[in-house]
């Protein structure tokens, strides 16, 4: 099943209007695969994070330059510009964008790869396939704030059963 997941400012405002708390942080999700962006966006939203999604490293560099993000989730293998090159360019921007934590999200998460990503300027690595509890743990450490996932829909269904 292919899903498209775009979070617009109107949607965020509507959620806040229904009593939803302000997001704890703004996250840029960078992945060329729509289903991966959707999964990462849903998990981030469940942690109370606001998200914006782009499709490749070039778009990530531009968004980082202008977006004021608190965290970037960066796929490694993407067309046009990969996550390593995008990370290097973001680090060269200077100022707040260069200081934004960048977390690699990749299938290539063996120890040697992880060391390489850290040497390239990334702050942490989340292995694919995504394990939600591990993602929550990594993002909590990187953001320096405890995060937890809400289970919208599932918890109320259990209560009704």
Q: Kindly report, residue by residue over 135-145, the tens digit of the pLDDT.
A: 999 999 999 98
Predicted local distance difference test score (pLDDT) of residue 24: 80
Number of domains in the chain: 1
pTM (2 d.p.):
0.81
Q: What is the DSSP string of the chain?
A: --------HHHHHHHHHTTPPPPS-EEEEE-SSHHHHHHHHHHHHHTT-EEEEESSHHHHHHHHHHH--SEEEEESS-SSS-HHHHHHHHHHS-HHHHHS-EEEEES--SHHHHHHHHHTT--EEEESSP-HHHHHHHHHHHHTS------TTHHHHHHH-
Task: Provide Rg for the chain, Cα atoms.
Answer: 16
Q: Kindly report, residue by residue over 91-117, the tens digit of the pLDDT.
A: 999 999 999 999 999 999 999 999 999
Q: Domain of 79: which CATH number?
A: 3.40.50.2300
User: Does 3 reside within a domain?
Assistant: no
User: Does 28 reside within a domain?
Assistant: yes
User: Does 140 reside within a domain?
Assistant: yes
Which residues constitute the domain of residue 76?
A: 9-160
Predicted local distance difference test score (pLDDT) of residue 4: 39
Phi, psi of 160 (to 5 degrees): -75, -25
User: Does 4 reside within a domain?
Assistant: no
Mean per-residue pLDDT for 22-28?
85
User: Does 131 reside within a domain?
Assistant: yes
User: Does 120 reside within a domain?
Assistant: yes
User: Does 22 reside within a domain?
Assistant: yes
Q: Kindly report, residue by residue over 30-47, the tens digit of the pLDDT.
A: 999 999 999 999 999 999
User: Does 126 reside within a domain?
Assistant: yes
Predicted local distance difference test score (pLDDT) of residue 18: 53
């Amino acid at each position: 099943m292919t899903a498209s997941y775009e979070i617009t400012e109107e949607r965020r405002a509507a959620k806040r209007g229904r009593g939803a708390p302000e997001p704890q942080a703004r996250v840029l999700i960078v992945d060329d695969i729509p289903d991966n962006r959707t999964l990462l966006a849903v998990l981030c939203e469940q942690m109370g994070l606001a998200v914006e999604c782009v499709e490749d490293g070039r778009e990530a560099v531009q968004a980082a330059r202008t977006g004021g993000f608190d965290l970037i989730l960066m796929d490694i293998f993407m067309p046009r510009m990969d996550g390593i090159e995008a990370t290097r360019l973001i680090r060269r921007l200077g100022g707040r964008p260069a200081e934004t934590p960048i977390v690699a999200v990749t299938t290539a998460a063996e120890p040697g790869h992880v060391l390489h990503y850290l040497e390239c300027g990334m702050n942490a690595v989340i292995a694919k396939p995504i394990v939600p509890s591990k993602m929550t743990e990594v993002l909590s450490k990187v953001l320096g704030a405890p995060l937890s996932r809400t289970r919208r829909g599932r918890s109320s269904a259990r209560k009704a059963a």
